[in-house]
Amino acid sequence: MPFRRSARMLLPTLVLLAAAPPLRAQPAGGPPAVGTATAHMQPVIESSSFVGRIQAIDKVDLVARVTAYLEEIHFTEGAEVQKGDLLYVLERGPFEADVAAKLGAVAQMQALLHNANITLGRAQALLNTPAGQRAAVDDAQAQQLSYAAQLQSNQAQLRASQINLAYTEIRAPVAGKITRTNVTVGNVVSPSSGPLATIYSQDPIYALFPVSTRAALDLRNRYVNKGGLAAVAVRLVLPDGRTYATAGTLDYIEPTVATSTDTILFRARFANPIRPGMKPGDPANRELTDGEFVTALLEGVEPVQALGIPRAAVLTDQQGSYVYVVGPGNHAEQRRIQLGQSTPATAVVLTGLNEGESVIVDGLQRVRPGLAVNPAPAAAGPALPAAAKAPG
């Protein structure tokens, strides 16, 4: 009896299930939508990037030239000083006394020489008289020459003492930023004490960067018929990613190759003015600092025409760089390409692609070789600066 009641309750449910329409499979999606761009000839600034370091043009260690007590310090550590500024004062008393003693010796010898001149004159006047003797003239002349030589020696010693007295004032030999002092007031300093402080010149300043021999040959061949060094401008990318506002000029190439690294040292000169709103005495008042790591970009002054595509279209694997091209029937084709000097926004293609072909820029993650796609022009991204770098 309970079984019959359960069967009567399930019967309406079975009827409803039988009346429901059968389930159908969802239709497969169409070809994936992708954004494309056309490869075309466009002006591109050729550029190569190298890791470099900032270097002050003048670096001067301040060293005591005499042995004496350090009495005064006349600069602010870390501030900028001008050429000729008084920086240190050493004890002057002993050197002033030495100069006074040398002045006395010079005065004494001048008096003796004066008397010798008079004696020589008298002997020469008596030479033609019965009282005159040649021996007296010769003796007087020898004495006069001896005193003259001694006077010259005493004057040289006086000059040396005056120079040592001048060394008690240490002045800035160049303009630049001075480091902290290594010796404080009250200590005895001497030539063997080492640098008291160091001055680094600030404006202009150098950027030095090694270039591989192969890259140097490529640069030479690229610009030899375009004006040589005059056809190259150098820009700097700072450690925080900003591009330094002022371009520099390449002014020196090392005439030898570093055998340990097979590189040639290049040097560029940059202006390094005080930053707006800063003062000469402020710390970090200039953008470039001695010893700072930077990226140097060697750019051609005049742009060249090259086949370009958006940088976002370029993919890389173990075999090199490649792109996907929209081929016949809107099927994706993989093309191996060789890149030239490119920019962050534009990739310059040397081989593997023809002008007018469409490359896939957006939706690359959905593309496979031979896959049918639904192409449409890619949305234009924000304009990027043309600071160029070598591929890879």
pLDDT in tens, 350-380: 888 888 889 999 888 888 888 898 888 887 5
pLDDT: is 116 or 85 the higher one? 85
How confident is the model at residue 133, as a pLDDT? 73
**Mean pLDDT for the stretch of residues 254-264:** 90
pLDDT tier at 11 (50, 70, 90 boundaries)?
very low
Which of 115, 142, 167 is the last residue before a domain boundary? Answer: 167
Instruction: Give me the phi and psi of 182, to 5 degrees please.
Output: -90, -10
Verify that 77 and 173 share a domain, yes or no: yes
Verify that 100 and 145 share a domain, yes or no: yes
Positive/negative CA dihedral, 305, 307, 312, 318? negative
How confident is the model at residue 3, as a pLDDT? 42
Verify that 97 and 76 share a domain, yes or no: no
How confident is the model at residue 28, as a pLDDT? 52
- Secondary structure letter of residue 23 according to DSSP: P
pLDDT in tens, 242-258: 889 888 888 888 999 99
- Structure token pair of residue 332: 């994706």
Which of 158, 178, 200 is the last residue before a domain boundary? Answer: 200
Domain membership flag for residue 389: no
Residues 126/132, Cβ–Cβ less than 8 Å: yes
| Domains of the chain: total | 4
Positive/negative CA dihedral, 217, 257, 387, 273? negative
pLDDT in tens, 314-348: 998 888 899 999 988 888 899 999 887 666 678 88
pLDDT tier at 1 (50, 70, 90 boundaries)?
very low
How confident is the model at residue 367, as a pLDDT? 87
Verify that 233 and 310 share a domain, yes or no: no
Domain membership flag for residue 358: yes
Verify that 110 and 218 share a domain, yes or no: no
- Secondary structure letter of residue 390 according to DSSP: -
**Mean pLDDT for the stretch of residues 148-171:** 93
Verify that 208 and 265 share a domain, yes or no: yes
Residue with tokens 């930023």: 177
Domain membership flag for residue 15: no
Domain that holds residue 194: 65-90+169-200
pLDDT: is 79 or 298 the higher one? 79
The CATH number assigned to the domain holding 277 equals: 2.40.30.170
Domain membership flag for residue 220: yes
Domain membership flag for residue 223: yes
Percentage of the residues of the chain whose pLDDT score is greater than 70:
83
Pairwise CA distance, residues 69 & 168, whole Å: 9
Residues paired with residue 286 on neighbouring β-strands, in sequence order: 274
How confident is the model at residue 149, as a pLDDT? 92
Verify that 268 and 366 share a domain, yes or no: no
How confident is the model at residue 301, as a pLDDT? 59
How confident is the model at residue 325, as a pLDDT? 92
**Mean pLDDT for the stretch of residues 101-113:** 90
Verify that 209 and 290 share a domain, yes or no: yes
Look at residue 384 and tell me whether its pLDDT is greater than 60.
Answer: no
pLDDT in tens, 267-320: 999 999 988 888 777 777 889 999 999 999 887 656 667 788 888 889 988 888
Query: Strand 68-73 and strand 47-56: pairing?
Result: unpaired
Domain membership flag for residue 25: no
Residues 204/83, Cβ–Cβ less than 8 Å: no
Domain membership flag for residue 192: yes
Verify that 232 and 346 share a domain, yes or no: no
How confident is the model at residue 319, as a pLDDT? 86
pLDDT in tens, 178-232: 999 999 998 999 999 899 999 999 989 999 999 888 888 877 777 777 766 677 7
At 374, which amino acid appears?
A: N
Verify that 272 and 236 share a domain, yes or no: yes
Verify that 153 and 98 share a domain, yes or no: yes
**Mean pLDDT for the stretch of residues 150-168:** 93
Q: Among 263, 261, 248, which residue's Cα sits nearest to residue 296?
A: 248
SS3 sequence, the chain? CHHHHHHHHHHHHHHHHHHCCCCCCCCCCCCCEEEEEECEEEEECCEEEEEEEEEECCEEEECCCCCEEEEEECCCCCCEECCCCEEEEECCHHHHHHHHHHHHHHHHHHHHHHHHHHHHHHHHHHCCCCCCCHHHHHHHHHHHHHHHHHHHHHHHHHHHHHHHHHCCEEECCCCEEECCCCCCCCCEECHHHCCCEEEECCCCEEEEEEEEHHHHHHHHHHHCCCCHHHHEEEEEECCCCCECCCCEEEEEECCCCECCCCEEEEEEEECCCECCCCCCCCCCCECCCCCCEEEEEEEECCCEEEEEEEHHHCEEECCEEEEEEECHHHEEEEEEEEECCECCCEEEEEECCCCCCEEEEECHHHCCCCCECEEEECCCCCCCCCCCECCC
How confident is the model at residue 165, as a pLDDT? 94
Domain membership flag for residue 231: yes
Pairwise CA distance, residues 202 & 367, whole Å: 54
The CATH number assigned to the domain holding 326 equals: 2.40.420.20
Verify that 257 and 316 share a domain, yes or no: no
How confident is the model at residue 126, as a pLDDT? 72
Which of 300, 333, 350 is the last residue before a domain boundary? Answer: 300
Look at residue 16 and tell me whether its pLDDT is greater than 70.
Answer: no
pLDDT tier at 147 (50, 70, 90 boundaries)?
confident
The CATH number assigned to the domain holding 187 equals: 2.40.50.100
How confident is the model at residue 124, as a pLDDT? 73
How confident is the model at residue 70, as a pLDDT? 94
**Mean pLDDT for the stretch of residues 167-188:** 93
